[in-house]
Amino acid sequence: MLGHNIFERMSKRKKIFITLSSIAILFLFSAGAYLYLEAKSFHEELLGIEDLKEREENFLKNPTVKECAYLVDKFGFALKEYDKAIKYGEQCLTLDRPSESIDWLINYWLADLYNKTGDFNKAKFYLMTALKLDSENRIEESKWIEQSELQKVYDQIPVEIKTLYDKKP
């Protein structure tokens, strides 16, 4: 109650000054917190880029499908460096691998990346290949085509390729 009485007895100018000062302090605190979070985010982003550079160097020394897929994902979908992602994606398909179980996925990614660069013929080629290799029909069942804006490319693919696995027992 004592603090309330003091505020009532103050002049109108002092009340305005205290109110504006409080708002200014809150603004400065909020701005400082925002700048801190931005700096922290930037620092984390730099660490991610350093990690990516290190992984890229390791891949160049010892290429593996796992690292290659990681680089395609990061360059293509996180950083939107499509040409670099395409280079790694195509290289991924030439590497020795214990199984071809992710070939459908790499081909799908390449279709999506070529679509983003405007090379629709290559996008169509890789999407057709991905659909042929996707024996479990994951691409169509997961609605990835609509999500990745590949619908126009998909519409150009012959029906027999689209329905290749519809006749499964």
Sort 136 into a burial class: Cβ within 10 Å, 0-12 / 13-18 / 19+.
Answer: exposed
Distances (CA, A) of 87 to 32, 69, 133, 139: 42, 11, 21, 22
pLDDT at 114 over 90: yes
Q: Which amino acid, one-letter code, is at 161?
A: I
Q: Which of 7-16, 33-42, 68-77 shows the lowest mean pLDDT across its residues? A: 33-42
In the numeric block, the tokens 């984390």 are attached to 44
- Give the pLDDT band of residue 5 (cuts 50, 70, 90): low
User: Would you state the pLDDT for residue 43?
Assistant: 42
What is the spatial distance between Cα 77 and Cα 139, in angstroms, rounded to a whole number?
Answer: 17
What is the spatial distance between Cα 74 and Cα 52, in angstroms, rounded to a whole number?
Answer: 8
Percent with pLDDT over 70 in the chain? 72
* pTM attached to this predicted model: 0.65
Report the CATH number of the 63-169 domain.
Answer: 1.25.40.10
Q: Which of 1-5, 155-159, 163-167 shows the lowest mean pLDDT across its residues? A: 163-167
Is the torsion defined by CA of 60, 65, 69, 72 positive or negative? positive
* Domain residue limits, the chain: 1-46, 63-169
| CA 52 centroid distance within chain | 14
